[in-house]
Structure 1
């Protein structure tokens, strides 16, 4: 009995200590941006865009304090809601701030999922100017509506997969907007036989409507890529020139279309945009050696080599993992590498 009484006293004493170990909770705000830039786009994309904003603990209690911002770009067929509600980003950020991985900051995730899976974060004659939307209109909207440190030195850019490729493209195309950029498993850094033109091309060419392609990831990637990189609003049925044509019993490449898309990859644009990356305080990207998206490891190696040729400081790391493994969670790349990277390179005052 005496032992039981002592145990109960011990548990009672530990109770408050346990409660204190839970990290302070930030707040997730879901808002909408009615984009003027995307309004009236020929591709029928909705100009009203959802934006999820993580506000750190203490944001509401300290109305005079301003924070740096990390813009995080989601992957193909993903969106902002899934980043927070399925991937667990909010709990991860709460834990990282409590553990000192990064000081309190704001994270912004825009929804750039489109009718065919994703914007690829580029300006398109069919889809609309998604690059301008992200780097200009979204940044202005966030600076107006939240207590940000509204200066390039306090802005970071990151993303995974399509968002990783978007991170590299936006860093090259919009110098002076970000202080640092970190791309996770960046897609479409350069041409590769696995996707130029891609395994879904035949089915995409045979399709006559959106109903024919929904649910087919390979076909959606071909069509969304074409709408982003080789758009033609007048082309039926998808507002894009596809990089192939169908014969009676064969599939042929269209070199003229590939000649339009390949030069838009970062491997080709870097030589004329190297100055943009020189303005960054930090530039990093990483990828899994066992990535199922076959073009990512070789094009990441090629891009790192090209950065070295141009004397551009960067960190490029290949780790043991697949496309989606080791990204989230306390042992993942976001917690262990991305957040400390921005803690080092952003201005927090």
Structure 2
């Protein structure tokens, strides 16, 4: 009797295992594959740029499997990659297409369009704002890019079916667009955003002001990493088109080795740049979003990023803005996000499945 029971249990275990294996087609190599379409937009928003921003902006659009043979319309996720990477790098070297294909095949998310676009200046990040130095990046996004995608692809052209996401500086841009344009983007997810607020270090202590003040061309500031990044920040948020070659007002100077702050310019910078400075102004917009989430890596070697994201979620709570904020164990990085079990697949795409209208 005991032997017979064991045989029955073994048989049931075999059938169970076979059933589990047969129920996992989404993880095979035969999943339906989407396609990637490259396009260009000749923009009107960069003709007055002082630093040589090209008016030709390139984008890549992921279309899900079956798109060509259907008349169905789809929600859209706009993605702002880190400006340290080429805008196509997530597809060319990080495996993004396979991740999106797999997520759709296994039911993590319904079929959707995914758009990534070059939003960089010659120095890196545009910071996604209208600037008299670099051009009108907000206007490009909401007046040109989104209408172009809606006109040329079968989208569900409403804010309820349109999300925006980004990584690092792109995460900053995603939150900023959600703050200012909730009628365009109904859901927002930021992967490890920066520029969210004050960090541990004093803002003006990072760039090399002597180097920037002596610069004759943009190439001169490229000699120092922080100076390159902060020149892009200053060009975006405290621009001055009448001050070549860098085209911004200096928030600080070195005088006899001492850092002297220009309080009025610094105030302009903080009020225009930091996301936490904008919360009060755009609180009602943020409350109207269908979903808002951001995350950050606990082991980021730059503690400013960790500290400022802690502060951002606290301030959002003070204004009663519903959101999700998650600190995860590890370090940040594009390739880690786009791995088979990275945060795009495990967190970002399920978030949009919940908050977008399909």
Q: TM-score, normalised by structure 2?
A: 0.87
User: Structure 1: how far apart are the matches of 2:52 and 2:322?
Assistant: 40
Q: Please name the residue that 2:318 is paired with.
A: 309
**Compared CA separation, residues 321 and 205, structure 1 to 2 (3 A):** farther
**Structure 1: stretches of 5+ with no match in the other structure:** 1-13
**Compared CA separation, residues 318 and 193, structure 1 to 2 (3 A):** closer
Q: Please name the residue that 2:222 is paired with.
A: 214
User: Structure 2: how far apart are the matches of 1:157 and 1:303?
Assistant: 19
User: Structure 2: how far apart are the matches of 1:20 and 1:78?
Assistant: 30
1:334 to 340, 344, 351: 344
* CA shift for structure 1 position 278: 1.3
* CA shift for structure 1 position 193: 4.8
Is 1:195–1:295's contact at 8 Å kept on the other side of the alignment?
Answer: no
Question: Is it true that 1:245 corresponds to 2:253 in the alignment?
Answer: yes
* Secondary structure, counterpart of 1:24 in structure 2: coil
User: Structure 1: how far apart are the matches of 2:132 and 2:112?
Assistant: 35
Question: Is it true that 1:254 corresponds to 2:254 in the alignment?
Answer: no
User: Structure 2: how far apart are the matches of 1:138 and 1:194?
Assistant: 36
Instruction: Kindly report the root-mean-square deviation, in angstroms, between the aligned alpha carbons of the 2 structures.
Output: 2.1
Question: Is it true that 1:115 corresponds to 2:125 in the alignment?
Answer: no
Is 1:196–1:258's contact at 8 Å kept on the other side of the alignment?
Answer: no
* Larger-gyration structure (1/2): 2
Question: Is it true that 1:345 corresponds to 2:352 in the alignment?
Answer: no
User: Structure 1: how far apart are the matches of 2:193 and 2:145?
Assistant: 21
Q: Please name the residue that 2:231 is paired with.
A: 223
* Secondary structure, counterpart of 1:84 in structure 2: helix
1:128 to 129, 135, 144: 135
Q: Please name the residue that 1:3 is paired with.
A: none
2:286 to 261, 266, 277: 277
* CA shift for structure 1 position 136: 2.9
CA-to-aligned-CA distance 1:48-78 (integer Å, 9 cap, x gap): 100111111111121x111100000111332
Number of corresponding residues: 332
Q: Please name the residue that 1:295 is paired with.
A: 304
Q: TM-score, normalised by structure 1?
A: 0.90
Aligned 1:6-25 pairs, distance under 5 A: 21-25=29-33
Q: Please name the residue that 1:44 is paired with.
A: 52
